[in-house]
Amino acid sequence: MSLAFRIILILASLMTTLYIVRKIRYSKLQIEYAIFWIILSFLLILISIFPVLVTIPTNIIGMQAPVNFVFLVIIFILLIKAFMQTIEHSQLEDKLNALAQKMAIDEKLNREKQTRYDTDYSIQNHMKKDKGK
């Protein structure tokens, strides 16, 4: 891995970490979501500082350049993250649909109760008027 690439990885990782911490500080990002990005940044810094961590697996797999292995690992990690977010998105959509249906049912029941109450109230008022005559 070239020195320039290692420096770029370190700078990009540090900038990403600072950006994530800033977003957490201003309550724009929850900590549970930020942990992934901070760990990824830390991993990239480790790879940049200790290139042997990439060179050995690159040689074992038989890839030509350690940079290719770094990109392969990053792409693989991001694909896993995208898949996990797709699952979470699907679950949240199901919850949202269930809540919307529950709210619609509750609103309908409240309208029916209000209609019954209004009807009972008008009947009682009508009966009071009839008794007074």
- For residue 10, give both structure tokens: 């370190």
What one-character-per-residue DSSP string does 88-115 give?
A: HHHHHHHHHHHHHHHHHHHHHHHHHHHH
Residue 101: C-alpha distances to residues 92, 95, 104, 115 (Å): 14, 10, 5, 21
For 107-131, what is each residue's pLDDT tens digit? 999 999 888 877 777 767 766 666 6
Residue whose pair of structure tokens reads 């201003």 in the numeric block: 26
How high does pLDDT run on average in the chain?
89
The pTM score is 0.69
